[in-house]
């Protein structure tokens, strides 16, 4: 598309000239300056021009001339035609392939909704970005057989029909699969609506459709790839992380929230491709502005390399003709709402409304027919422009790149939705629209094929299919594809648990302290030590992990460029290129993204890592719940440790910090295993078993949530034979010291630090009320419930078989009496198992807002301290008619409980 006047210099001077428009008080002077610059550009080139302009800016600044700040370049392509590389592919054949993919993608959605109009699906998104993917598939995405590993690609979630459609042409999906798009339970299997590794574990690598999560996860994925290389766990490689996203998606805080990190870490292995079709679901992304310019400024400001692909090749000669800059001025002043309108109107409209605004601009296109003007494409529909941008992006060193590509939403749908505000949800096309689609993309289908929206698969030896396979072969295989073939790790032996079974003697550590001790052992373990990834969001000192800063060091790609202030101390803040700790700063979303990257390295790198992500439990699920859901979908393996847990245990911190519900939210994640341990041996058994399940020969796709507390109390020795119960979720900790009288038998369930009160209540009940109580440690209500639900379900569906018994039913089957639970979490947590407890379970818990107070005051406020557990027990006995109600009333008085105290539930 070079018309002889569109080389680097011609185009650059046109850009510069645009600055002079309009309101120029001395055009002759302006012209002289611009001519000088043109002359420098012609004789000495771009570098010299940049040098001179820098000098001018410095001189102007010292003289008090304040040049207005702008992070924006004009609204044209970053790469001028003269710098555009030759296109290496067969454009004709690639266009045919792309048209077939467009068709089948569209047909999938149409079919699904013909069968059942409730199924939904998206046609317009892929229609807008087909070229963005096809250029990448044919020339850039490196497949899994590439030495050092293939590229990691985050596909825009609701563009999935296009990705399925390509896999169909590649022979990786069948017509049956396509017919069963959004019908995953049909015989032979179907296709999930969006990318979900949980549902299609051999295909999708990254879930992306919750807007914003793909971008933030991809940034930390790129960082983690570096981490593995810097720590020499994987060899150096040039594999890229590509993240495709929508312009509307950039409204999400997660999308832009971590972009500074990417440049700070020099992640030149990361490429964002933002499909700027100017529309989101309801309408324009920035009708009154320009999303591409806004994003350019944001990414430039954050230190990224920004490549804009705004206009297709047809615009090049028109831009080159623009000697005064009037065209650039017009392009700059036009807002996206208008551009959206131009996308659906014809050339005559464009001539009148866009070019027609200025007479000299109109002249620029006077020799163009209306038809030619109609065919002026946007950059994202021109493979030459997209190729040039990707090539530059993949060759960029030292910084991440964002490619901002202007496209038309619903491209090719014509009246059925192209550029229209309703296009996002368009999923039913009429016969006329299908025929138009065929014509627009020159598809060789009969009218009947078209009217039935038939899928089309060319012969395997057709030039298109051959080409497609050849390209993927040359690029290292097909994408997306997900594999998991990492070697197993050796689980630490029983001796690890033995360290903790004897208890802490006269010492009173917290479970957080105990955990840090255990983590230290794992880090030093000769088999798994190097694979342990401690992750902290600026809370290392809170949890007593600062000694690790010195011994295992904090990871930094540049090492440590300064001497830390505490260099002379035994515990110094050490950063190192091979540092093992990921100290992510104050970003739970970032730390969780690192957790995900580390916990999926078995599939992305074929190497198992064991992330331990420790954080304030309140800032876990409540804050980053959707990332936890993504972690589950991704089959992440690792440990999330909710420290400073418990609504009454984290005293003094109040409403915002005191967590009493993370276990409730955790219970909503199907493959998350959650524990609330009280003692060191419980924690040791759980951690060791977790490592075994996730990284040993079973390599289960589960991850763990474990709460840790900062309450100091003696760690008891393990009652013999408790291992199974610890893992299943319940075991008897301490039998009553007295015999039950008159059927007055009680069972007290406790977890975490509240177990200490439960044991004291056991004593109080025996000594002051003559009541026998056994104490049970419940390490996981969730695990008990999960297993019991499975058993119930089996029994329901096999009514003629002998019913099975769940673990909780087996364990409690022989027990009699009343059952009381006390927890530092909401009552709903123990109540998860109520229906399997003989006679039901009466739960005490921490429903309500946290408060700034001391631990004893909080435990009284929430009615879970020793006295309240005792009263709760007596109350339950009275309800069974085993004691008089007056005994309960007397106890309330005697134990100093104010029956008229404020209710914690609403206070």
Site residues (vs Mg ion, CB under 5 A):
246-248, 277, 279
- Cβ-proximal residues to 283 (8 Å cutoff; 6+ apart), any chain: 421
Partner touching 138 among ligand TPP, Mg ion, none, CB below 5 to 8 Å by kind: none
Which H helix or E strand runs over 244? Answer: strand 241-246
Q: Which residue has the tokens 């030896």?
A: 461
Cis peptide before 468 (omega within 30 of 0): no
Tell me, rounded to whole angstroms, the distance of Cα 85 from its chain centroid: 35
Partner touching 582 among Mg ion, ligand TPP, none, CB below 5 to 8 Å by kind: none
Q: Which is nearer to ligand TPP, 381 or 734 (CB)?
A: 381
Residue 321: is it exposed, middle or buried by C-beta count within 10 angstroms (0-12/13-18/19+)?
middle
Partner touching 111 among ligand TPP, Mg ion, none, CB below 5 to 8 Å by kind: none
Q: Which stretch binds ligand TPP (CB under 6 A): 58-66, 273-281, 503-511, 788-796?
A: 273-281
612, 639 in Cβ contact below 8 A? yes
Spell out, one character per residue from 194 to 233, where the chain touches ligand TPP: x when CB under 6 A holds, - when not. ---------------xxx----------------------
Partner touching 209 among Mg ion, ligand TPP, none, CB below 5 to 8 Å by kind: ligand TPP
Q: Which is nearer to ligand TPP, 209 or 634 (CB)?
A: 209
Pick from 38, 279, 644, 780 the residue near ligand TPP by CB under 6 A: 279
Cα–Cα distance for residue pair 201/148, rounded to 1 Å: 22
Pick from 6, 277, 394, 758 the residue near ligand TPP by CB under 6 A: 277
Q: Which stretch binds ligand TPP (CB under 6 A): 274-282, 380-388, 478-486, 499-507?
A: 274-282
Q: How far is the CB of 406 from ligand TPP (least distance, A)?
A: 12
Q: How far is the CB of 423 from ligand TPP (least distance, A)?
A: 9
Partner touching 249 among Mg ion, ligand TPP, none, CB below 5 to 8 Å by kind: ligand TPP
Tell me, rounded to whole angstroms, the distance of Cα 101 from its chain centroid: 28
For ligand TPP, the binding residues in 411-440 under the rule CB under 6 A are 424
Backbone φ and ψ for 633, nearest 5 degrees, come out as -60, -40
Partner touching 586 among Mg ion, ligand TPP, none, CB below 5 to 8 Å by kind: none
Q: Which residue has the tokens 């005064």?
A: 324
Q: Which is nearer to ligand TPP, 253 or 743 (CB)?
A: 253
Q: Which stretch binds ligand TPP (CB under 6 A): 240-248, 506-514, 627-635, 809-817?
A: 240-248
Q: How far is the CB of 615 from ligand TPP (least distance, A)?
A: 22
Q: How far is the CB of 128 from Mg ion (least distance, A)?
A: 7
Q: How far is the CB of 210 from ligand TPP (least distance, A)?
A: 5
246 makes contact with ligand TPP (CB under 6 A): yes
Q: Which is nearer to Mg ion, 205 or 279 (CB)?
A: 279
- Give the SS3 label for residue 124: helix
- 827 closest CA partner among 806, 802, 844: 844
Read out DSSP for 265-317?
TT-TTEEEEEEE-SB-SSSBSSTTS-HHHHHHHHHHHTT-EEEEE-B-GGGHH
Q: Which is nearer to ligand TPP, 630 or 843 (CB)?
A: 630
Q: How far is the CB of 249 from ligand TPP (least distance, A)?
A: 4
Q: Nearest to ligand TPP by Cβ — which residue?
A: 246
Q: How far is the CB of 433 from ligand TPP (least distance, A)?
A: 19
Tell me, rounded to whole angstroms, the distance of Cα 867 from its chain centroid: 45
Partner touching 41 among ligand TPP, Mg ion, none, CB below 5 to 8 Å by kind: none
158, 122 in Cβ contact below 8 A? yes
385 makes contact with ligand TPP (CB under 6 A): no
Pick from 134, 151, 230, 247 the residue near ligand TPP by CB under 6 A: 247
Q: How far is the CB of 279 from Mg ion (least distance, A)?
A: 5
- Cβ-proximal residues to 323 (8 Å cutoff; 6+ apart), any chain: 14, 17
Spell out, one character per residue from 492 to 521, where the chain touches ligand TPP: x when CB under 6 A holds, - when not. ------------------------------
Residue 380: is it exposed, middle or buried by C-beta count within 10 angstroms (0-12/13-18/19+)?
buried
The encoded tokens of residue 283 equal 């309408």
Q: Which is nearer to Mg ion, 336 or 539 (CB)?
A: 336
Cα–Cα distance for residue pair 450/461, rounded to 1 Å: 23
Cα–Cα distance for residue pair 449/148, rounded to 1 Å: 44
Partner touching 281 among Mg ion, ligand TPP, none, CB below 5 to 8 Å by kind: ligand TPP
Cα–Cα distance for residue pair 105/95, rounded to 1 Å: 15
Q: Nearest to Mg ion by Cβ — which residue?
A: 246
For ligand TPP, the binding residues in 108-127 under the rule CB under 6 A are 125
158 makes contact with ligand TPP (CB under 6 A): yes
Q: Which stretch binds ligand TPP (CB under 6 A): 200-208, 275-283, 302-310, 582-590?
A: 275-283
Q: Which stretch binds ligand TPP (CB under 6 A): 71-79, 241-249, 412-420, 526-534?
A: 241-249
Q: Which stretch binds ligand TPP (CB under 6 A): 227-235, 279-287, 413-421, 444-452?
A: 279-287
- Cβ-proximal residues to 587 (8 Å cutoff; 6+ apart), any chain: 257, 258, 537
Q: How far is the CB of 286 from ligand TPP (least distance, A)?
A: 11
Beta strand pairing call for 703-707 and 582-583 = unpaired
Cα–Cα distance for residue pair 78/308, rounded to 1 Å: 5
Q: Which is nearer to Mg ion, 90 or 251 (CB)?
A: 251
In the chain, what are the helix, strand and coil shares in percent, each to the nearest 5?
A: 45, 10, 45
Q: Which is nearer to ligand TPP, 124 or 751 (CB)?
A: 124
Read out DSSP for 666-710?
HTTSTTEEEE---SHHHHHHHHHHHHHHHHSTT--S-EEEEE---
Q: Which is nearer to ligand TPP, 277 or 780 (CB)?
A: 277
Up-side HSE of residue 539: CA atoms within 13 Å toward CB?
21
142, 472 in Cβ contact below 8 A? no
Partner touching 158 among ligand TPP, Mg ion, none, CB below 5 to 8 Å by kind: ligand TPP
CA distances from 586 to 539, 548, 655, 668 (A): 8, 19, 20, 26
Q: Which is nearer to ligand TPP, 626 or 815 (CB)?
A: 626
Q: Which is nearer to ligand TPP, 252 or 464 (CB)?
A: 252
Q: How far is the CB of 215 from ligand TPP (least distance, A)?
A: 11
R_g of the chain computed on alpha carbons? 33
- Cβ-proximal residues to 50 (8 Å cutoff; 6+ apart), any chain: none
Pick from 102, 280, 482, 635 the residue near ligand TPP by CB under 6 A: 280
Neighbours of 463 (CB within 10 A): 14
Binding site for ligand TPP (CB under 6 A): 125, 128, 158, 209-211, 246-249, 275, 277, 279-281, 285, 409, 424
């Amino acid at each position: 598309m070079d018309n002889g006047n569109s080389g680097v210099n011609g185009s650059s001077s046109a850009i510069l000239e645009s600055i002079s428009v309009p309101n120029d008080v001395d055009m002759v002077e302006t012209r002289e300056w611009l001519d000088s610059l043109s002359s420098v550009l012609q004789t000495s080139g771009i570098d010299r021009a940049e040098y001179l302009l820098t000098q001018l800016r410095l001189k102007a600044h010292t003289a008090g001339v304040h040049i207005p700040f702008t992070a924006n370049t004009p609204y044209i392509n970053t790469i001028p035609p003269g710098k555009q590389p030759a296109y290496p592919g067969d454009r004709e054949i690639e266009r045919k392939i792309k048209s077939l993919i467009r068709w089948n993608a569209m047909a999938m959605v149409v079919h699904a909704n013909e069968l059942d109009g409730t199924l939904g699906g998206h046609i317009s998104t892929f229609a807008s970005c087909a070229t963005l993917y096809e250029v990448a598939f044919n020339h850039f995405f490196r497949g899994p057989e590439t030495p050092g590993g293939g590229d990691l690609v985050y596909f825009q979630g609701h563009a999935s029909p296009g990705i399925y459609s390509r896999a169909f042409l590649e022979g990786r999906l069948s017509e049956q699969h396509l017919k069963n798009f959004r019908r995953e339970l049909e015989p032979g299997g179907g296709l999930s609506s969006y990318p979900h590794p949980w549902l299609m574990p051999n295909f999708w690598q990254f879930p992306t459709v919750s807007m914003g999560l793909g971008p933030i996860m991809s940034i930390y994925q790129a960082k983690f790839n570096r981490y593995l290389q810097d720590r020499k766990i994987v060899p150096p490689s040039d594999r890229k992380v590509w993240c495709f996203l929508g312009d509307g998606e950039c409204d999400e805080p997660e999308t832009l929230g971590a972009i500074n990190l990417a440049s700070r870490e020099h992640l030149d292995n990361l490429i964002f491709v933002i499909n700027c079709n100017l529309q989101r679901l309801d309408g324009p992304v920035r009708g009154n502005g320009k999303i591409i310019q806004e994003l350019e400024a944001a990414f430039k400001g954050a230190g990224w390399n920004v490549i804009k692909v705004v206009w297709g090749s047809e615009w090049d000669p028109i831009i080159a003709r623009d000697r005064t800059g009037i065209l650039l001025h017009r392009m700059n002043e036009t807002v996206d709402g208008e551009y959206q309108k131009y996308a659906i109107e014809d050339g005559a409209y464009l001539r009148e409304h866009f070019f027609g605004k200025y007479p000299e601009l109109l002249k620029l296109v006077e020799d163009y027919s209306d038809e030619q003007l109609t065919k002026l494409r946007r950059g994202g529909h021109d493979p030459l422009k997209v190729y040039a941008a990707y090539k530059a992006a993949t060759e960029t060193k030292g910084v991440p790149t964002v490619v901002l590509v202007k496209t038309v939403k619903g491209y090719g749908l014509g009246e059925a939705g192209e550029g229209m505000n309703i296009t996002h949800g368009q999923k039913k096309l009429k016969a006329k629209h299908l025929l138009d689609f065929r014509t627009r993309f020159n598809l060789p289908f009969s009218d009947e094929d078209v009217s039935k929206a038939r899928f089309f698969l060319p012969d395997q030896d057709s030039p298109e299919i051959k080409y497609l396979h050849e390209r993927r072969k040359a690029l290292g295989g097909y994408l997306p594809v997900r594999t998991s073939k990492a070697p197993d790790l050796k689980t630490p032996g029983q001796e690890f648990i033995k360290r903790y079974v004897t208890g802490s003697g006269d010492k009173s550590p917290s479970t957080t302290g105990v955990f840090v001790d255990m983590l230290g052992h794992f880090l030093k373990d000769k088999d798994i030590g190097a694979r342990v990834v401690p992750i902290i969001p600026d809370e290392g000192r809170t949890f007593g992990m600062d000694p690790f800063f010195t011994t295992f060091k904090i990871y930094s790609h540049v090492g440590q460029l300064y001497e830390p202030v505490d260099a002379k101390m035994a515990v110094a803040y050490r950063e190192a290129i091979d540092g093992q700790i990921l100290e992510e700063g104050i970003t739970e979303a970032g730390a969780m993204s690192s957790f995900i990257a580390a916990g999926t390295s078995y599939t992305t790198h074929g190497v198992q890592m064991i992330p331990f992500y420790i954080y304030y439990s309140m800032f876990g699920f409540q804050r980053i719940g959707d990332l936890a859901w993504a972690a589950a979908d991704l089959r992440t393996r690792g440990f999330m440790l909710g420290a400073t847990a418990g609504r009454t245990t984290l005293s003094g911190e109040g409403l915002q910090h005191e967590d009493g519900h993370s276990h409730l939210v955790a219970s909503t994640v199907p493959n998350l295993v959650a524990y609330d341990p009280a003692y060191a041996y419980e924690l040791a058994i759980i951690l060791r078993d977790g490592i075994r399940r996730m990284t040993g020969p079973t390599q289960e796709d589960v991850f763990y949530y474990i709460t840790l507390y900062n309450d100091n109390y003696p760690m008891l020795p393990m009652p013999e034979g408790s291992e199974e119960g610890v893992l299943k979720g319940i075991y008897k900790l301490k039998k009553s010291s007295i015999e039950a009288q008159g059927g007055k038998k009680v069972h007290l369930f406790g977890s975490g630090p509240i177990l200490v009160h439960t044991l004291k209540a056991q004593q109080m009940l025996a000594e002051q009320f003559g009541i026998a109580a056994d104490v049970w440690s419940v390490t996981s209500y969730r695990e008990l419930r999960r297993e019991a639900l499975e058993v119930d379900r089996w029994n329901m569906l096999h009514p003629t078989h002998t019913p099975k018994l769940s673990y909780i039913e087996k364990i409690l089957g022989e027990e009699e009496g009343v059952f009381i639970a006390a927890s530092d979490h909401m009552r709903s947590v123990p109540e998860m198992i109520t229906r399997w407890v003989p006679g039901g379970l009466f739960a005490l818990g921490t429903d309500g807002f946290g408060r700034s107070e001391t631990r004893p005051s909080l435990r009284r406020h929430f009615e879970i301290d020793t006295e309240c557990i005792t009263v709760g027990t007596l109350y339950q006995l009275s309800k069974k008619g085993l004691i008089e109600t007056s005994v309960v009333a007397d106890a309330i008085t005697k134990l100093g409980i104010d029956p008229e105290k404020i209710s914690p539930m609403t206070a």
